[in-house]
Amino acid sequence: MVGFACTNGERFAFPSRIHALPGRYPPIIPYVTTVGELGEFPLIERIASAIDRASLAAATAGGFSLALGIGDDAAAWSLARGVQVTTTDTAVENVHFTQQTTPWADLGWRTWAANVSDIISMGATPLVGVVTLGIPGSLDVTAIDDLYVGMIDACRAYGTLIAGGDIVSSRDVFVSVALMGVCEGELLRRDVAQPGDVIGVSGPLGGSAGGLRVLQRGLMSSDALLTAHRRPTPRVSTGQALLDAGVTGAMDVSDGLVADLAKLCRASGVGARVDSPLVPVASALHESFSDEESLLCALGGGEDYEVLFTGPRQAVERAVASIDGAAVIGEIVTDTPGRVIVLGADGNELEVSDAGWEHLST
């Protein structure tokens, strides 16, 4: 479903401007503090009004044109050319974030940026998305206001639109974004790596994991790590730079370098060797952590939203030369599919116990 809907299953078409339905719903009373006191329909109108006031400008890649946004049973858009690419990502309270470590506006940014990163890593341009909110009635109304401030900030940064969504009651907060993009050339995929290909990454890793550790441990740190965790910034130009260089395979680093590289290798039926001294480590990590812990953050920490890519050496080296901060970090090898060997500076294999986030692990 694309448009906002009621929790009882009834479709609800709301206007792009609140004043279009005078008297139909109770006014937004200034003294209400929770979403339960405000009510579902006024909350939807409040969100729709915030998006409308933002006057977001849409990207035009692929001849994209929004035919119907917020205001009907579903959103609709058209494409003149290219392949449509769609992704979705969810942030669940006390699983992916806590209210103590993540301000609501930053949660909105991060959730939108996670989807942008998926689209970019496919060699596509992000265009339009929809949002599903799961919230308890006791949640302060300003939390939703701030959440959409963050998402609207991300939309402005990446030239995307919010076209609708859904609201449901939930004990814990969750925010789910589904984002659509368009690829006007070849898709970058996970399943095309071959032995002899080299491995590159688009930028420094570990900053987000370091920022989370700083928050959890109450450490003193520069703002760089907190920003890396709370407001990661995938770069839209990365996918096109990879395609222009002749790179054939890619995926984003969302669950950790080693874990994500293992996924790429399983999809391609190959193994990988990573030379840890070549891995670009976020420089701010060394201000708060030892060299060993900094490296572990880079190898196992998630949510950096850089792009991991593979291809013939010349293509990967061209890509690295064109992307600021990128580096060649290893090679695809013939091995058990999904096996990733990490070598230390002495050439010996490192045991990487913190190998990334995995859902449903026990």
Identify the pLDDT of residue 24: 35
pLDDT tens-digit profile of 121-164? 999 999 999 999 999 999 999 999 999 999 999 999 999 999 99
Identify the pLDDT of residue 227: 95
- Given its phi and psi angles, is residue 16 left (phi above 0), alpha (psi -120 to 50 degrees) or beta? alpha
C-alpha torsion 172→298→156→189, nearest 10? -100
Q: Which two tokens stand for residue 328?
A: 């060649």
pLDDT tens-digit profile of 192-236? 999 999 999 999 999 999 999 999 999 887 799 999 999 999 999
Identify the pLDDT of residue 187: 94
CATH superfamily label, 198-343: PurM-like C-terminal domain (3.90.650.10)
Name residue, tokens 């993540």: 102
Q: Which two tokens stand for residue 102?
A: 């993540």
CATH architecture of structural domain 18-183: 2-Layer Sandwich (3.30)
Q: Which two tokens stand for residue 188?
A: 């970058």
Identify the pLDDT of residue 171: 95
Residues of the chain below pLDDT 70? 1-32, 353-362
Identify the pLDDT of residue 129: 97
Residue 14's closest CA among 47, 54, 58, 57? Answer: 47
Distance CA 130, CA 4 (A): 9
Q: Where are the domains of the chain?
A: 18-183, 198-343
